Structure 1
């Protein structure tokens, strides 16, 4: 989508409406924030901060203090965003608050760029206990907490129910599809067969698409083939050669054998990818996430009714008959610059920006999932069929590793898949190149080859 190639800034000065002139002794507390979207539907990641400032300022003004927030909302790619904030930290120009993917914490914390939030959370046990415990694991580095979870999600397959109907499926079979995936009765290769049939009958342009850029989605294909990508006990990345070869063979099958996905998939771009499901150009999006629902509605013009009637979603099927399905969650988290002079106030600000009222506002606006237990118990959250079902997927979820080389692993995995799809490398050659690159990158750091 075009918005993903743009970025725009919001410069927010939060002022109380009843202040006419500033007191000479009023202490201004400047705070800068850099927030990633990238999807426009997640603007609440910034606007929730703005609202939190307004609330805090009501009490701070009694002390003759006022926060002024200058915030920027970035809608470019995660890769561009990562390059930007790493350069900013290295040049000591980073903002006070940033919203990043949790996998970057280890790299930043290991260099001393991030404030350790553990002491603040120990002094605020009520808020700490309200977050889902597993989310704290996603923001830890060497047993210290360096981030506040802002949202989470689950990865999923999206598919067109009306296309399945056109294939002759009765409603009972269509409605049972997600549970059949969950039971391991439908595998990745069954998905391919269904996609081939729909494509051959001219019901869709292509049977299957996947995201055109690197991302954590590709990790869940490793677990689909009963593989692993980390040794959590020792914090080592793992090259599971058997599972990786199965992954590369799967993508080879999609493009070169069944021809159900274009070999130039990587070059199609987000604009093509984002419109494919809502405009019925494909049957399956195999790298979807819960946030896509609101993108389909707000950005692609689907109504809620059309989405519910025509679009289905399910867990990531196993690659093996009878195997467990999988999914993956990628929390985005607020981090605090260790150089900031306002850590105490920033912590209070982040707790307010992620409180249940703001948590649920973001969930409804962007179809991300709640990070707090109390939010998930709200009647309005529990009555939402999409969020309720997506939340149930969390029992199958995992996180990508909090490891310094995770991003490199992710990028090399994507490049290997791209090489297979383009025909430049065979699956076996892709595995050998991936393994060699990872070993080279790891240097003296241990990486396990399984």
Structure 2
């Protein structure tokens, strides 16, 4: 069911500097499609607020236009379900002007003729987009063009419990040097597995590493560490390498065999995964920066005391699969998509205004998301409350993004079957590779390239 409510965007033709409002106003309604998401109310809210600013600008210029925002708020349980509902609506001509979406759906939206190419808009407004963190533009590209604007960003990492490292006999110098060693390619995924096993076997922890129990993008960070490049930009097709997949599954088996990773990890509930790390049973967890708030509460750390937090917890990128390699990170931005409608120019300007430092900071600090603009790190709220988000920005240097391909969900689900099979001992890494490759070829057909 879709709930519609018309939100009047500010006073009719508010004025700047005493500019007179035209006698006859022309209302322009911009339709905004967004999930009802308690974790990100400012995603649509910033667009609604931006209409106030745009109306002031229009009035000052003597325009007779008044922009209003009609919020189409859906009750979809996730971004995938929401995107499918949107594509159905578009197919029958019910197309909104702005969409709040997960970035990996951009390819499907572009292919459906829904998303507008925004390269011209971005290039024509350098003062509005010049401070966007460059890596984030990669998340909105499809066949070389930009079909969206990053709305927020995130980083995913391995959280390590420093207290457990100290209990296992590791020095503060060792702990302080871990992140640098990872980024230099000196500390590998195998080293991490060995370290987790060492901490567990010393009695400093009950568990080594925990990860999400179900299919999801986190695993792509680990896969990328083993040289798996999932997307061919030129052909706009998914791809996989058998050798990289074998290395990845072999690493998982090694971690299970050493006791660093629970064999039944994929049977855990999400509550159990969170409780394992926050309850200080597990040495390490790989997930996302949005866990910060819950960790501070669980550890009893003052939310303003970043020094106390980082004395207890270390963040590292996913280490390289082999010595001398490059670490990896994963960011999963939510984006604004402007539809190819008659109102796309005004819609794009609303998105540009909502992307600026002040409104984006309200969202980012309130929901533990990293900023989309470099300058946000100097905003007062980031300085006092967002120290963790500022600390996460350097990790974006190593960030990769889910491919903007409509079948990435199937790809993830199939490769996760291999994770389950290897961790539980149902299959060897070689058997899991063969099974996954066969399933990818069967289900994805021409949409996937098998590289070796």
The corresponding residue for 1:325 is 327
Contact 1:34 1:74 in 2 (8 A): no
Contact 2:9 2:49 in 1 (8 A): no
C-alpha distance in structure 1 between counterparts of 2:363 and 2:297, whole Å: 14
Contact 1:14 1:54 in 2 (8 A): no
Change (3 A) 1:353 1:314: same
Unaligned 5+ runs, structure 2 = 14-21
Offset at 1:250?
1.8
Structure 1 window deviating more from structure 2 (322-331 vs 245-254): it is: 322-331
Deviations 1:278-303 (A, max 9, x none): 322311112x2233323534799753
Alignment of 1:3-42 (within 5 A): 13-14=7-8, 16=10, 28-35=27-34, 40-42=38-40
Q: Which of 46, 49, 72 is the aligned partner of 2:47?
A: 49
Q: Residue 102 in 1 paired to residue 100 in 2?
A: no
The corresponding residue for 1:294 is 293
Structure 1 window deviating more from structure 2 (159-168 vs 7-16): it is: 7-16
Unaligned 5+ runs, structure 1 = 1-6
Deviations 1:329-376 (A, max 9, x none): 2222111233x4532222111111111112333332333232224435
C-alpha distance in structure 2 between counterparts of 1:307 and 1:116, whole Å: 42
C-alpha distance in structure 1 between counterparts of 2:440 and 2:68, whole Å: 45
TM-score normalised by structure 1 residue count: 0.83
TM-score normalised by structure 2 residue count: 0.83
C-alpha distance in structure 1 between counterparts of 2:421 and 2:79, whole Å: 22
C-alpha distance in structure 1 between counterparts of 2:207 and 2:192, whole Å: 13
Contact 1:294 1:365 in 2 (8 A): no
Change (3 A) 1:187 1:11: farther
Contact 2:138 2:401 in 1 (8 A): no
Contact 1:248 1:417 in 2 (8 A): yes
Aligned length: 437
Change (3 A) 1:76 1:404: closer
Contact 1:224 1:326 in 2 (8 A): yes
Contact 2:194 2:260 in 1 (8 A): no
C-alpha distance in structure 2 between counterparts of 1:253 and 1:75, whole Å: 39
The corresponding residue for 1:258 is 258
Alignment of 1:9-408 (within 5 A): 13-14=7-8, 16=10, 28-35=27-34, 40-59=38-57, 63=64, 65-70=66-71, 72=73, 76-93=77-94, 95-255=96-256, 257-286=257-286, 288-297=287-296, 303-304=302-303, 305=305, 307-338=309-340, 340-376=341-377, 381=382, 385-408=387-410
Change (3 A) 1:135 1:194: closer
C-alpha distance in structure 1 between counterparts of 2:300 and 2:229, whole Å: 38
Deviations 1:246-285 (A, max 9, x none): 1112222333x13333333233233333343332231111
- Aligned Cα root-mean-square deviation (Å): 3.5
